[in-house]
Structure 1
Amino acid sequence: MRMDIADLRLFLAIAEAGSITAGAAQANLALGSASERLRTIEADAGTALLNRHPRGVSLTEAGATLAHHARMILQQQAQLRGELQAFAHGARGTLHLYANTAALTNYLPARLAPWLAERPRLHVELLERTSPEVVRAIRAGQAEAGIISDAVDAAGLQQHVVAEDPLVMLLPAEHRFASLRSVAFTEVAGETFVALADGNALQTYIEDQARDIGRRLDVRIRMKTFEGVCIMVGHGIGVGIVPRTVARQHRRSTHPVAVPLADAWAQRRLCACFAEWTQLSPAMRSLLHHLGVPPQKKA
């Protein structure tokens, strides 16, 4: 059979109107064109589909069968179009977003939740990496975009600040540096540390900074969560380094003192990072726009 979607729409319009004239009008066709098309449909079907009456038409048994399947086909077409549009507008599929520890634990949950709630068929996979690893993944084409610290060299990629979240030194209340307005990492690198777990992206970043100044941190205990670090420091087990937002969240319950780190690498701003806006998927463009990245046009 050679009937197309337009043929099915015309046939349904005629069947529902009970009139070739009225059906042609609904289909925005001239009566002559509609009549000719109807003859072609019946010839293609190999049987009469309509009973002609002086004041209209009615369906034959074959015509009723065609009308039934035509409705199903048109409904499926509408559903298909809607589902494809959902992919095109970033409302369906799976989005992979790379991010450093601070972004994953403090920034993204509150920002991502309302956006994702509006897209019930979209899945998001969050991948924790250090900021340098995120940059390398984007440059290698393994990642579309990521959330990184602006302290990392991302030359050749686009960066847009989405939040400020500097690192602070977390100290027991009685620590000799607790009253300072800021402290340099070199002054505290020899202290006993409460650290995050091995493999944690932020902890790796901190220990890289220690190696850069020729030091190795004396880690007394490693915790899986920021809250665990805050509790340990509050009880005088050691010192720690956490994002400022974390220190503020837990200061009342764990009682550590947060002193700003004076080092440039600790003055972090979180940035959305990507190669080319036009190469991002619709879902990623939608998310980044939600996070505050302005849409960009082709050059």
Structure 2
Amino acid sequence: MNHLLRKLDLTSLRLFVAVCQERNIARAAERESITPSAVSRRIAEIETVIGRPVIHRESRGISVTPVGEMVMRHAQAVIASFESLDAELSQFATGAKGSVKVVANLSAIVQFLPEDIAAYTRIFPDVEIQVDERSTSSVLRSVSESGADFGICNAVPGIKDLESLPYRTDRLFLLVPRGHRLSDATAVTLADMARENFVGLGSDTSLARLLAQQARSLGLDMKVKIRVNSFDALCRMVHVRLGIAVLPQHIGELYVDTLDLQLVPIAEPWASREQIVVFRQRERLTAAASALVNFLTNKR
């Protein structure tokens, strides 16, 4: 592999593909604005590197050998990959102006988006970005109905007719008041906390649905006594000992130093969640939206 990488170049591969498509060196040379002798030299170099003939020269053109067919197939894939890269870079560059509407769930907005959007706008200060907070189900519905350029939400089963890319991973922790019976635990399970009173987000949020689903699977009944619409309210409710809560680690860490709270890891597979960027079709994104998607999904 290293031998091929050092010896073959894109120009030679492009000329070889042109010869295979035209079945004639002279026509391929005319198409690529180069002399036939230069094309022949490039083909000979490919054959030297590979050690086998890739074409047979005939009186009225050329025929492609079986090895040549294989090389052409891979050459086309390499060229297509670089053309795709060029198109994406061009989109990124032309995304310097415009407006983008994003719908995102609360977890993404509180944990990750502020810093990411701030970094993006330092590169593209003329792009106007509107962010609306929605539940995960509402994010998916809004993107499906063309109510936003793209959305950011938790990866959930059953996403149809939308494309997606990975964005971030977050980890769910248990939030309890200091001195609570679980505050000194090294880790907890859902069964450990099931008999407690809970403070939760709205029942239509992906977090509320996840917890309800996991409780049902274990035959447990979670007692959600209070529901709120923000993590700030949730943390304050736990602070005054109205219940315990499950929330993303990064959000809990914003409050543990200012309120009487303790974070406890949850030792369950479902406590690790993937966040994704969703859109209808990549090629239908505006240049500004595509540039922002590229920035968000390549930022780690």
User: TM-score with structure 1 length normalisation?
Assistant: 0.58
Q: CA deviation at 1:111?
A: 0.7
Task: Verify: 1:244 aligned to 2:249, yes or no.
Answer: yes
Q: Which of 258, 283, 288 matches 2:263?
A: 258
Which deviates more from structure 2 when the two are superposed, residues 146-155 or residues 216-225? 216-225
Which one of the candidate residues 130, 147, 167 is aligned to 1:125? 130
In structure 2, distance between residues paired with 1:265 and 1:138: 25
Amino acid corresponding to residue 129 of structure 2 in structure 1: V
**Contact 1:103 1:147 survives alignment (8 Å):** yes
1:224–1:158 CA distance, 2 compared to 1 (3 A): closer
Which residue in the other structure is 1:209 paired with? Answer: 213
TM-aligned CA distance change 1:266 to 1:154, over 3 Å: farther
CA contact (8 A) 1:210 1:217 kept: no
Matching residue of 2:232 = 227
- Quote the residue 1:110 is aligned against: 115
2:254 alignment partner AA: Q
The CA deviation at 1:96 is 1.3
Deviation sequence 1:30-59 (CA, Å, 0-9, x none):
xxxxxxxxxxxxxxxxxxxxxxxxxxxxxx
* Aligned-partner residue type, residue 136 of structure 2: S
Structure showing greater Rg? 1
Identity of aligned residues (%): 26
What SS class does the counterpart of residue 180 from structure 1 fall into? Answer: coil
Counterpart residue number, 2:23: none
**Residues of 1 paired with 2:173 and 2:209: CA distance?**
14
Deviation of residue 271 (structure 1)?
1.8
Question: How far apart in 2 are the matches of 1:282 and 1:132?
Answer: 26
User: Structure 2 vs 1, CA of residues 226 and 277 (structure 1 numbering), >3 Å: closer, same or farther?
Assistant: same
The 1:206/1:150 distance shift into structure 2, 3 A limit, reads closer
In structure 2, the partner of 1:167 is 172
Structure 1 Cα separation of the partners of residues 283 and 240 of structure 2: 51
SS of residue paired to 2:95: coil
Partner AA of 1:209 in structure 2 = Q
Does 2:99 correspond to 1:97? no
CA change 1:168–1:205 in 2 (3 A) is same
Cα distance change of structure 1 residues 222 and 139 upon mapping to structure 2, 3 Å threshold: closer
Aligned to 2:291: 286
Q: Give the 3-state SS of the residue equivalent to 1:250 in structure 2.
A: coil
**What RMSD over aligned residues (CA atoms) do the two structures have, in Å?**
3.4
Q: What residue number does 1:61 align with?
A: none
Distance in 2 (alpha carbons) for counterparts of 1:271 and 1:93: 23
Distance 1:168 1:119, change over 3 A: same
Structure 1: which amino acid aligns with 2:256? Answer: R
The 4+ residue runs of structure 1 with deviation greater than 6 A are 85-88
Q: Where in structure 2 are the equivalents of 1:1-299 lying within 5 Å?
A: 89-154=94-159, 157-196=162-201, 198=202, 201=205, 204-206=208-210, 208-209=212-213, 212-213=216-217, 217-293=222-298
Return the letter of the residue paired with 1:96. K
> Could you say if the C-alpha distance between residues 192 and 99 of structure 1 is closer, same or farther in structure 2, counting changes exceeding 3 Å?
same
The normalised TM-score by structure 2 is 0.58
**What amino acid is aligned across from residue 242 of structure 1 in structure 2?**
L
Q: Kindly tell me: are residues 274 and 263 of structure 1, through their superposed partners in 2, closer, same or farther at Cα, counting changes over 3 Å?
A: farther
Cα offset for 1:127? 2.4
Does structure 1 conserve the Cα–Cα contact (< 8 Å) formed by 2:169 and 2:273?
Answer: yes
Aligned partners of 1:151, 1:218: CA distance in 2, in Å?
Answer: 24
Structure 1: unaligned runs, 5 residues or longer: 1-84, 295-299
Amino acid at match of 1:278: E
Structure 1 pair 200–245 and aligned structure 2 pair: CA distance change class (3 A): farther
